[in-house]
Amino acid sequence: MINLFTPITLGKVTLKNRVVMAPMTRNRAPESLPTPLMIEYYKQRSSAGLIITEGAQISEQAVGYPATPGIYSDAQVASWKAVTNAVHDAGSRIFVQLWHCGRVSHPDFHAGELPVAASALKPAGQAFTYEGLKDFVTPRALDVAEIPSIIEQYRHAAAQAIAAGFDGVEIHAANGYLLDQFLRDGSNSRSDNYGGSIENRNRLLREVTQAVCDEIGAEKVGIRISPVNGFNDMSDTDPQSLFNYVATTLSALKPAYLHVVEVSMTGETDTSVDMVQIRNNFEGFYIANGGYDKARGNHTLEGGTADMVAYGIPFIANPDLVERFQQDAALNDADQASFYGGDDHGYTDYPMLNAG
């Protein structure tokens, strides 16, 4: 019987279990460089079969939050190498998430220039900047002539990721960031080949995925989507049709996995999308994410509706989450006040089962 502790082969690597550490922004990378503290953080969580890092910007243009890492410069590659070496030495595998924030940013991060987006539509809400919360601005719509440079940024970042020792990359097309902004009609009002129909709105994600697969090999590529997530002021008039199409077209490119955020990060319940349809339209591995515990994770794997299960907040508070699941041990509570920014408190100081 398949469960969370059953190994699985992902591309050319074998994962020791099916527990995935979900990508989570922690804002502890000053100057966009991974730090020794980050090395310890990821090493501690190497009980996971697969670690997916926090989002790493693919270019300076892609930045949207303070103290978040990048994966485009040689200095960033050198810093990430220490992280990937530590995780590999601890027996786990690690993918980096490729991130472009698009309109979910602020001119403060871009020398006063506007953030870019699918369309010049201002999202409701506020940006986290070095000077505190500031209202989002109306972004600048990308010109068609700029699209090839965006695709190139993803391709280059993927190549840099392999140079840094990552086992693969996850293309972030979820949670209201740039690729998601192109996908959903609530943020895409374009009238060219990248807007209007579902096929057109999916075009950039397909082209980015193709470029990344061509660069590093499809077996090293995953994609994250979030069909019902309203976070960052996102919406779509027909998400079931959209994401069924996304899954089908991505499947044709044969990436390693599709990582699906099955809930809305706003806390609202949205049952407008049948995730099983999405899973059935994708021939690769399906990673389920969204409020899973051990029992629900095992039930999902046993039923075949997912191949792996990703855990977020439980991994923040429980570096040894897999061991705790194996022993049915109690879980530490997460300190939400230390989620974003700070030092080792709430980051690398959570107690382990074998701490004493």
Confidence of residue 304 (pLDDT cuts 50, 70, 90): very high
The answer to whether residue 345 sits within a structural domain is no
pLDDT digits 0-9 by tens, 240-253: 999 999 999 999 99
The answer to whether residue 148 sits within a structural domain is yes
pLDDT digits 0-9 by tens, 125-184: 999 999 999 999 999 999 999 999 999 999 999 999 999 999 999 999 999 999 999 999
**Residue 266: pLDDT over 90:** no
Structural domains counted in the chain:
1
Confidence of residue 355 (pLDDT cuts 50, 70, 90): low
Mean confidence (pLDDT) of the chain: 97
The answer to whether residue 225 sits within a structural domain is yes
The answer to whether residue 347 sits within a structural domain is no
Among residues 177, 245, 292, 350, which one is catalytic? 177
Please write down the HEC assignment for all residues of the chain: CCCCCCCEEECCEEECCCEEECCCCCCCCHHHCCCHHHHHHHHHCCCCCEEEEEEEECCHHHCCCCCCCECCCHHHHHHHHHHHHHHHHCCCEEEEEEECCCCCCCHHHCCCCCCEECCCCCCCCEEEECCEEEECCCCEECCHHHHHHHHHHHHHHHHHHHHCCCCEEEEECCCCCHHHHHHCCCCCCCCCCCCCCHHHHCHHHHHHHHHHHHHHCHHHEEEEECCCCCCCCCCCCCHHHHHHHHHHHHHCCCCCEEEEECCCCCCCCCCCCCHHHHHHCCCCEEEEECCCCHHHHHHHHHHCCCCEEEECHHHHHCCCHHHHHHHCCCCCCCCHHHCCCCCCCCCCCCCCCCCC
The answer to whether residue 348 sits within a structural domain is no
Whole-structure pTM over 0.75, yes or no? yes
**Residue 356: pLDDT over 60:** no
The answer to whether residue 353 sits within a structural domain is no
CATH code of the domain containing 65: 3.20.20.70
pLDDT digits 0-9 by tens, 195-225: 999 999 999 999 999 999 999 999 999 999 9
The answer to whether residue 351 sits within a structural domain is no
Confidence of residue 64 (pLDDT cuts 50, 70, 90): very high
The answer to whether residue 349 sits within a structural domain is no
- Give the pLDDT of residue 267: 84
- Which domain does 253 fall in, by range? 8-338
User: Is residue 177 annotated as a catalytic residue, yes or no?
Assistant: yes
